[in-house]
Chain A
Amino acid sequence: MTGSHFFCLSKHLILIGILSIAAGCATTQTPDSTAGNSDDIESANRVFFDVNETLDKHLMKPIAEAYVDMTPKVVRTGVTNFFDNLKYLNVIFNDFLQGKFTQGVNDSLRFVFNSTLGIGGVFDVATNDMRLEKNDEDFGQTLATWGFDEGSYLYIPLMGPNTVRDVTDQVPSTFLNPFFYVTSTILFPISALDAVNKRANLLEASNLRDEAAIDPYSFTREAYLQQRDYLIYDGNPPVSGYDDIFSEAEDESGGVLIIE
């Protein structure tokens, strides 16, 4: 392991450690009972959120918009495919950890076909020509299927919304990304392209949020946590979860939702 790799990994581990301790220490604070989710360190999260929003507004978003204006969609799709393919070993790893063996085999084939016939992952031949659908798995989802609670909500500078459980994905996703084992100055522009392309892919969602949200912080937190549940259940969360909000309202109104 090179010095830069060790530094990179240490950075992730220290980040996880600090955040876990911070979240643990903060559990004596009153949770946000209205949201139904644990945002124990909301005041700190809001500070980080404001910092990120400022950075995004003045730096990342304008760069991403310029990138979209200058780059044809087909090129951006290729760039997205390339980086998604690099991160796909982590998906395969988590398929097997979650006991999804058939999906794990299919995802392994996806990775092999896209890396070879798809020229390093630039072309998604597995989806388009082989009907091997793309899956979205990570270590946070694996821990959820193993029964771990999400823990406190965290808004991490530069990374964005997260939870104590989900942030653990930084370890396997770092180790399983082939770029982790490459030492070259070319990594810097490639990492920058990854960041800009990722932000460009989120432009539609962030514009939608800016258009709809009255409190962007709460909106982001709620949308993130719900989206994570959706992914954990592979797009089919239990229907009973949707009843909860009505049951709570019924409890508050003495058992029945009476609307005049």
Chain B
Amino acid sequence: MTSKNHSIQSGLKLWFAIYLFFSANILLAETEQEQAMQTPVNELHDALINIMKSGGSSSFEDRYSIMEKVITKKFNTPLISRVVLSRYWNSLDEKAQTDFIDLFNRLTISTYVSRFDSYDGESFKYLSTESMKKDRFLIKTELLRADDDPVSFNYIVQIDAGQWKIISVIANGINDLSLKRSEYSSVIEEQGFESLIASMREKISDLQPKRAQ
């Protein structure tokens, strides 16, 4: 083997090593990013399993408190409220917007606590992640049930002030964000914004006694 061949071979090895190093780092970074964006979904799932398991023994207030921590921190409720109210958002003053975000947050928590109230061996399974526009990602999971078909639970996540947060939940193809936007628009158009607020308060109130029983 000539010295020229030897140096070419050494050069190739060096480039291959550099390539491997950067590839590994890129992969590692991608894995870390994927794990980070899954964090809010995993925390939500853990909390849901928790409140399902304690459905028969814990009080409504205790289970509400568990969900409140997760939803307040891991859902971007201000952004969700803005999207759900669509063009009506801009017609609200700052106080009305803040009040709506708070009310929407309470309704979301109440709905989760009411819906996930018993446990029968359910578990969540991660399936895949797909990228969307503007650094949004779709995280696909499913809820496995003992004697029934799995329910698809997909989440859209986006980074907000350095934290990955859930901005939409899609259950078996039904997008909660679109559903609420359609409903709320209809109520505002026909009965006005104050009527929507009254209906949301009434809904929260309706959910509470049922859960407390």
Contact = CB atoms under 8 A, between A and B. Distances in A.
Residue with the greatest number of chain A CB neighbours at <10 A, chosen from B83, B156, B160, B186:
B186
Given A222-B182, A239-B132, A227 B174 contact: yes
Contacts of B130: 239
A104 to B, nearest CB: 22
B58 to A, nearest CB: 20
B29 interface: no
B73 interface: no
A211 B207 CA distance: 7
Contact of A242 (B76, B90, B152, B168): B168
A67 interface: no
A181 interface: no
B192 to A, nearest CB: 13
Interface string B86-125: 1101100010000000000000000100110000000000
B175 A245 contact: yes
B174 A242 contact: no
Contacts, number: 118
A77 to B, nearest CB: 9
| Size class of the B contact interface (CB-based, 8 Å) | 35 or more
| Size class of the A contact interface (CB-based, 8 Å) | 35 or more
Contacts of B206: 211
A145 B160 CA distance: 38
Interface in B71-93: 76, 78-79, 82-83, 86-87, 89-90
Contacts of A246: 83, 133-134, 136, 167
A215 B173 contact: no
Interface string B185-207: 11101000000100110010011
B170 A260 contact: no
Interface stretch (A87-95, A168-176, A249-257): A249-257
A252 B181 CA distance: 14
Given A34-B189, A35-B185, A242-B132, A214 B172 contact: no
B148 to A, nearest CB: 10
A231 B173 CA distance: 8
A32 to B, nearest CB: 8
A257 B79 contact: yes
B173 A226 contact: yes
Interface in A211-251: 211-215, 217-219, 221-223, 226-227, 229-231, 235, 237, 239-240, 242-243, 245-249
Q: Is the interface of B mostly helix, strand, loop or mixed?
A: helix
Contacts of B178: 36, 222, 226, 245
A73 B18 CA distance: 62
Residue with the greatest number of chain B CB neighbours at <10 A, chosen from A243, A245, A247:
A245
A34 B199 CA distance: 19
Nearest to A73: B147
B20 interface: no
A245 B181 contact: yes
B180 to A, nearest CB: 8
A34 B88 CA distance: 11
Given A215-B187, A259-B79, A252 B90 contact: yes
Nearest to A217: B186
B156 A242 contact: yes
Given A208-B115, A227-B174, A242-B156, 4 more contacts: A32-B185, A34-B186, A222-B179, A252-B90
24 contacts: A32-B185, A32-B186, A34-B87, A34-B182, A36-B182, A211-B114, A214-B196, A214-B199, A218-B186, A219-B179, A222-B179, A223-B174, A226-B174, A226-B175, A227-B174, A231-B173, A235-B152, A240-B133, A243-B132, A245-B83, A245-B175, A249-B82, A252-B90, A257-B82
